[in-house]
Chains A and B, each alone.
With several copies, the nearest count.
Chain A
C-alpha cells in the first residue's frame, strides 16, 4: 500500500495539453475517484501513474519513490481497463496467473492466491473458461481478480463499469466498495459518471480540460461546489442555473433578481454578498431542493419563495417524479427549471403548479469568473 502524489504534472501531446499542472495527493488506502467530462484528461492522468504514458513535466511519486523513469512492470501497480483487456486466448485461470507466473511465483502460491481471489469474486467455477464464454459482469470480475492476485501497492481503474448494463453497474459498484474496504489498497478510479463518483469515492477529484477543479469528499463537493462547472457536473438531474443580478429589494435586503422573480439570500451568506450590489451572478438550485407547494411543506422551508410554473414534461420514476417546468412570461423572461418532486405530486404536463424553493440550499456564482460566492 502506498500513497500516490502528483506534483505539478503536465502532459502534452503535440499542441494539445491533456493534463495541466495537476497536483494531487492520493492518500494511502484511499479510494480516489477522478471524474470529469470526456476528454478532460482523466485517463491520461491514470496512465501516467501506470507508466503507460510519459510524463511531460512534473513528478509522480508512489510511496516515497519518484516513478517518472521506472518501467510499468516495476511500479507494482495493477490496472483494470475499460474493456478489461483480458487475454482472449487464455483461460480465466491463466489470465489471473499470468502476472504471477512472469514474476516466477511458485505454482502452489499462485494457486492459493487465485483460489482465494476467485472465491471472493465468485468466479471460482469459471476458472477454465475463456473470456469470451463469460458474461460482461463475469469478465469484469476476472479483470478485477487479475488485479487483486497481484496484491499491488496501487489499483488503477479506468471506467471499469462502463461496459456493464445499468442493473449490474449498480450492483458491482457496491461490491467494489466492499472489496476496497476489505483489501485496503490505495485505489484510483476514473469515471465520467458522477453517480459512480459520488457513491464510490472517499474523495472525488473533479477535472475539466486537464485542470483539477476540486478535490474533496462527495458530500462536500455536492454541497459546496467551488465553481459553476463542478456544481453543474455533480448531481443528477443537473443543478438549475439562473443568470441574474444582485439587487436591493424594497425592504432594503440584498436579493438575487433572475428576471422572472427574485430570490432571497440565505441569512448565513448575507455577509459574503454585502457590497456586491449590481454584480452579475448565476443562481444555482438543485432539482431536489424544489417542492410541490400543494403537498405538505418540508420542515424548515420558508413559504416565501414560491413560484408558479407551467409543467412541460413529467417523468414518473416510481416514488419520485422529474418535472420539467417553465417559469416566467413566455417569450420575455421564461426560464426552464427541472425539479424532482415527490411521487404523490399531482403535476400534470401542461398544467400550472406552485413550486416551493428551499432557498437556504441555493448556490450563487460570479457570472464572470464562474467561481462560487456561496
Chain B
C-alpha cells in the first residue's frame, strides 16, 4: 500500500515539485553562485569571491541607508497594521446586517493594485492640492511636502501601507470566527467583562493567527517593493528619493540589478535579505513558544 501511495504522492505532487525545482530551487542556487561573481548580463559572470558582499557591507553608500529605511518601516508599520487590523476585525466580527459591505470596504484597499494605490496616494499626498494637506488646511495646519521631504516621505509610505491592512484583517476575522462562543459564555459566567474576555479568551485563542500575521507581515515588510517603486516614480522623487529616504532594501536591489546591471551585486543583496528574513523568522518561531497557544 505504501508503494502505491508513494506513487500517487509523486504523481500528484509532480507539477508543484517540478515548479519548485525549476523556478525556485534552481534559480536560488544559481543566484547564490552569481552573488560571488561580477556579472553585467552582457559578458559571462566572473568569479570575484566575496567581493560583492564586502562592497555592500563596507563601501556601498546606499546599502546601510536602505537597511535602515527597511527596518524603520518594518518596526513601525508591522505592529501598527497588526493592531489596527485586529481592532477592525473585532468590530467586524458580528452578524449585523450589511456587515458584508463594511468588510468589503475595509478589505478593499488591500486589493487595490499597488500601481493604482501608489498613484492614488502620491496624489493624496500632493502638498498643494492633495487630500491630506487639504484636510489639514481645513483645521488650520500647513501640512508638510510629504513626498519630497526626507522626514515625511517614509511616514507617508507607512501611512499608505497601513491603508492596506485588510489582508491581515480578514485573517484575523477568520481566526475570530474560530473562537468557540461557549468560551466567551463561560468567561462571562465566570464574571469576566469585555476587557477580561479580550485578554483572557480572545488573545490566547487567536494567538496562532496573530503569530501568522506577524510572521507574514514581517516577511512582507522586509520585501516591500511595489509601493516604494511606484511611489518614487509617481511622486517624481525618483526611485528611493528624496535622499534615499524611501530607498527600501529591495528597491535598492532592483536599481543595482536592473538599472545598472550589477547582477552579481544584486544577487548578493538578495541573499543577504533572504538570510536576514530566515533569521528573523527563526527568532520569531522561537519566541512564539512563549506566547502562542498551540491548538493541538
Complex A–B touching at CB under 8 A: yes
Binding site for B on A (CB under 8 A): 50-54, 71-73, 75, 77-79, 81, 83, 85-90, 98-99, 102-103, 132, 146, 150
The 10 closest A-B pairs by CB, nearest first: A99-B190, A89-B204, A89-B293, A85-B182, A85-B186, A73-B191, A102-B191, A72-B188, A54-B1, A81-B182
| Among B122-130, B145-153, B192-200, the stretch in contact with A | B192-200
Tell me, yes or no, whether B14 is within 8 Å of chain A by CB.
no
1/0 contact string of B283-296 vs chain A (CB within 8 Å): 00000000001011
Q: B180 contacts which of A53, A85, A132, A146 (Cβ < 8 Å)?
A: A85
Supposing A51-B1, A87-B204, A89-B204 touch, asked if A132 and B296 sit within 8 A by C-beta, the answer is yes
Q: A102 contacts which of B2, B196, B205, B296 (Cβ < 8 Å)?
A: B196
Total contacting residues, chain B, CB less than 8 A: 24
A88 nearest CB across to chain B (Å): 7
Interface core residue of A72, A78, A103 (most chain B CB under 10 Å): A72
Indicate if the CB atoms of A73 and B180 lie closer than 8 Å: no
Supposing A71-B4, A132-B296 touch, asked if A52 and B183 sit within 8 A by C-beta, the answer is no
Supposing A54-B2, A98-B187 touch, asked if A88 and B293 sit within 8 A by C-beta, the answer is yes
A322, B253: Cα distance in complex, Å: 80
Instruction: Please indicate the chain B residues that have their CB under 8 angstroms from the CB of A81 in the complex.
Output: 182, 185-186
A165 nearest CB across to chain B (Å): 21
Tell me, yes or no, whether B189 is within 8 Å of chain A by CB.
yes
Indicate if the CB atoms of A85 and B196 lie closer than 8 Å: no
Instruction: Please indicate the chain A residues that have their CB under 8 angstroms from the CB of B296 in the complex.
Output: 132
Indicate if the CB atoms of A89 and B186 lie closer than 8 Å: no
Tell me, yes or no, whether B62 is within 8 Å of chain A by CB.
no
A349, B70: Cα distance in complex, Å: 76
1/0 contact string of B35-48 vs chain A (CB within 8 Å): 00000000000000
Indicate if the CB atoms of A73 and B193 lie closer than 8 Å: yes
Tell me, yes or no, whether B277 is within 8 Å of chain A by CB.
no
Indicate if the CB atoms of A87 and B182 lie closer than 8 Å: no
Instruction: Please indicate the chain A residues that have their CB under 8 angstroms from the CB of B187 in the complex.
Output: 87, 98
- Of chain B, the residue at the smallest CB distance from A68 is B1
Interface core residue of B1, B189, B205 (most chain A CB under 10 Å): B189
Binding site for A on B (CB under 8 A): 1-2, 4, 180, 182-183, 185-193, 196, 200-201, 204-205, 207, 293, 295-296
Instruction: Please indicate the chain A residues that have their CB under 8 angstroms from the CB of B295 in the complex.
Output: 88
Apart from A53-B1, A87-B204, list 11 A-B contacts with CB within 8 A: A73-B193, A81-B182, A83-B182, A85-B180, A87-B201, A88-B205, A90-B204, A102-B191, A102-B196, A103-B191, A146-B190
Instruction: Please indicate the chain A residues that have their CB under 8 angstroms from the CB of B293 in the complex.
Output: 88-89
Instruction: Please indicate the chain B residues that have their CB under 8 angstroms from the CB of A51 in the complex.
Output: 1, 188
Indicate if the CB atoms of B182 and A73 lie closer than 8 Å: no
Indicate if the CB atoms of B185 and A52 lie closer than 8 Å: yes
B176 nearest CB across to chain A (Å): 15
- Of chain A, the residue at the smallest CB distance from B5 is A54
Instruction: Please indicate the chain A residues that have their CB under 8 angstroms from the CB of B183 in the complex.
Output: 85, 87
A86, B204: Cα distance in complex, Å: 13
Instruction: Please indicate the chain A residues that have their CB under 8 angstroms from the CB of B182 in the complex.
Output: 81, 83, 85
Instruction: Please indicate the chain B residues that have their CB under 8 angstroms from the CB of A53 in the complex.
Output: 1
Instruction: Please indicate the chain A residues that have their CB under 8 angstroms from the CB of B201 in the complex.
Output: 87
A179 nearest CB across to chain B (Å): 19
Indicate if the CB atoms of B205 and A89 lie closer than 8 Å: yes
A83, B181: Cα distance in complex, Å: 11
A49 nearest CB across to chain B (Å): 11
Q: A73 contacts which of B2, B189, B200, B207 (Cβ < 8 Å)?
A: B189
Instruction: Please indicate the chain A residues that have their CB under 8 angstroms from the CB of B185 in the complex.
Output: 50, 52, 72, 79, 81, 85
Indicate if the CB atoms of A50 and B189 lie closer than 8 Å: yes
A340, B205: Cα distance in complex, Å: 46
